Amino acid sequence: MFYILRSYRQSWLLLVPAIVAAVFVSIKDNIDDWPDFLDESIATVIGAATGLLGFILSLNLNTALSRNAEGNANFNAFCGDVLAFGMFVCGLTVDNKDEDDFKRVKSNIRDLLLAAPQVCKYTFRKGVDVDLIPVRLKGRTSDGKRMSEKLYERNKEMYCLVKEYYDIGAMEAIMLALGNEMQNLTAMKVFGDNNAFHMSLIGKWENIYSSYGNLGNIFGYKFPAVLDWMLDICLGIYLILMPYGLVEAKYHSIWLSFIVAYFFLGLHIVAGQIGDPFQPGNPNGKSQYATVGAAAEAAQRAVESLFQKDTTIGLDNLNCDTPKLEGVDLNELPGRPSGMEKLSRERRIEVNNIKY
């Protein structure tokens, strides 16, 4: 309930039916020659409008839920493609003579991948400011304000490249910079003579841009303004006429009108908000509906951790201690799966030598 009331730009309309109800009751009580034939006529209009608005608002809410689910699913796919690209790059190696250049290219790719989730999110929210592209979350203030390291602080070279080509689109500039770094990897011959690895990396680049394109297809389309205006006008007329059907309840019609208006206007407000998963939320409070903010930050943390471990540890020649089982009752460990004894008897299969 309070989520709808906090949408003050629209929720103030809930007071209109309550005020109109008080006016209608006062008119009916103080004007003796009020035309009673309006009672049946307005009741007919209210009944027809109730059914029509109930259907349209429910349809809008269903559409909003679908857009929210599809938006989150496609953004999660986008973040997964970004992380997969980073995994592939971390698995590449180069000769010692090109080690410094290779590290520089990997650092550039890392920073571009760190910027990609936030650039995608802000593209569909309110637009991207290149100077404010965050690549690492450093924490939050007490009021939930994000404290982050910016791209220009981490990597000025990539910042300048993205800013130079910003006019083609922020995400397009990120993808162009990634393509340029892929070409640098090719020049270093990190793929060897096997073109399959080169094509695989290009495929992962295409997957990132494809997921971004799917989001553009979903949220790039705007509903015709004439439909929004028509719904708003119909809902406004309904909120004004609806209290007239409750005047028999006298001044109880004031709070009754408020409740009925809450049902219809609430559906309209929720449908308008929930259909956009790119809206900002309160990081210190409970989420009212699914947004992409958490997925973007999780993708950044995963990419940062991936490249950091690749730099300090690497993927080869790892030394890991095995768990010590001293003091552990081996009888409590998982043994042979239930049903194996019966299966061995029925199928005459020797299972004694199988290790679990």
Domain ranges of the chain: 2-67+222-274, 72-221+292-312
Q: Which residue has the higher pLDDT, 79 or 334?
A: 79
- Residue 20: the pLDDT is 86
Per-residue pLDDT at 138 exceeds 80: no
289 in helix, strand or coil? coil
- Residue 194: the pLDDT is 66
Per-residue pLDDT at 152 exceeds 70: yes
- Mean pLDDT within 27-32: 80
* pTM confidence score: 0.77
pLDDT band at residue 79, thresholds of 50, 70 and 90? very high
- Mean pLDDT within 249-266: 86
pLDDT band at residue 18, thresholds of 50, 70 and 90? confident
- Among 129-133, 184-188, 191-195, 279-283, name the most confident range: 129-133
Share of the chain above pLDDT 70, in %: 78
CB-CB contact of 109 with 181 (8 Å): yes
- Residue 96: the pLDDT is 63
- Residue 356: the pLDDT is 41
pLDDT tens digits along 303-329: 888 888 877 666 666 666 666 656 656
Per-residue pLDDT at 1 exceeds 70: no
- Residue 348: the pLDDT is 66
Q: What is the dihedral of CA 108, 110, 111, 113, to 10 degrees?
A: 120
pLDDT tens digits along 213-237: 999 888 887 778 888 888 888 888 8
- Mean pLDDT within 349-355: 54
- Residue 116: the pLDDT is 92
Q: Which residue has the higher pLDDT, 99 or 106?
A: 106
- Among 171-180, 222-231, 277-286, 299-308, name the most confident range: 171-180
Q: Which residue has the higher pLDDT, 141 or 232?
A: 232
240-274 CB burial, b ≥16 within 10 A, e <16: ebbbbbbbeeeeebbebbbebbbebbbbbbbbebb
- Mean pLDDT within 26-42: 80
pLDDT band at residue 258, thresholds of 50, 70 and 90? confident
Per-residue pLDDT at 26 exceeds 90: no
Residue 251 tokens read as 């001044």
pLDDT tens digits along 53-75: 888 888 888 888 898 899 999 99
| Single-letter amino acid, residue 36 | D
Per-residue pLDDT at 355 exceeds 50: no
- The DSSP code sequence of 18-48 is HHHHHHHHHHHHH-TT--THHHHHHHHHHHH
